Amino acid sequence: MAQMKFMCDAERCIECNGCVTACKNANDVEWGIQRRRVVTLNDGEADEMSISVACMHCDDAPCMAVCPTDCFYKTDDGIVLHDKDLCIGCGYCLYACPFGAPQFPQQNAFGERGKMDKCTFCAGGPAESKEEEYEKYGSNRIAEGKLPLCAEMCSTKALLAGDAQDVADIFRQRVVHRGHKDGAWSNNPQASTDNLAYDAARKG
């Protein structure tokens, strides 16, 4: 069973917002809502850094813990989804979420929040039919054996999506290729035995 995770390699992200656009397009996200956002720190300075953020599908998800209607659930792949039929728009998930993932359409009187919307890891949500699912939650690429479109379309492959183990493996390899002396093993004696600092590019 997979544990689906996103990871954004901040040293690769070039702030192109392709992920934001891909997500909007793949899921037909409603007006005013942007499931993924790109944050840039120290914009215009030498140490400028960007990172793409959406729902991180937490193991111990704070949104699930605080939801008064208990509308969240976790799929077998560790994806955090929610049932819009149960959502009452109280905003508690937004207070709790570390990543600012939940968003609410504000079309009603007195600023009343509509049904919460957030990244589904392109896994849709609970619905009677495919059409209803698409209408409410956007596409279900996971059911088609595909990964979230944001990560698939990331031009620098800064944004990774997939099983936690695989994402971690890719990231570790990158760190190795970035040339750290103990190959990302932080003085772990096993590093030398496994020869993880071996540089594939160098070998030619």
Partner 1 sequence: MTTMTTTTMTPEAPALAFWVRAFFQRCWRIGILLLLLAASLGMSQLAVAQADTDHEMVTAAPGISADQWRQVRSGETGPNYRDSRFDSNYNLINSSGETWRQIRNRWVSPFGLIAIGGMIVVIALFYFMVGRKHLDEPRTGRKLFRWSLLMRSLHWTVATLFITLALTGLNLLFGKFVFRTLFGDAVWAWMISASKVLHNYLGPIFGVLLVVLLISLLKDNIPKKHDWVWFKKAGGLTGKHHPDAGFANGGEKAWYWLLATAGLVVIASGFVLDFPNYGQGRDTMQWANIIHAVGALGLTAVALGHIYIGTVGTEGSLEGMTTGYVDETWAKEHHNLWYEEVKDTAMSEEEIAAQKTGSSSGDVSATKPS
Closer of 72 and 138 to partner 1 (Cβ): 72
Buried b (16+ CB within 10 A) or exposed e, 139-167: bbbbeeeebbbbbbbbeeebbbbbbbeeb
Closer of 108 and 130 to partner 1 (Cβ): 108
Give the separation between CA 149 and CA 156, rounded to whole angstroms: 14
Closer of 28 and 32 to partner 1 (Cβ): 32
Closer of 85 and 132 to partner 1 (Cβ): 85
Q: Do strands 72-74 and 80-82 pair parallel, antiparallel, or not at all (unpaired)?
A: antiparallel
CB of 14 to partner 1, least distance (A): 10
CB of 130 to partner 1, least distance (A): 18
CB of 120 to partner 1, least distance (A): 15
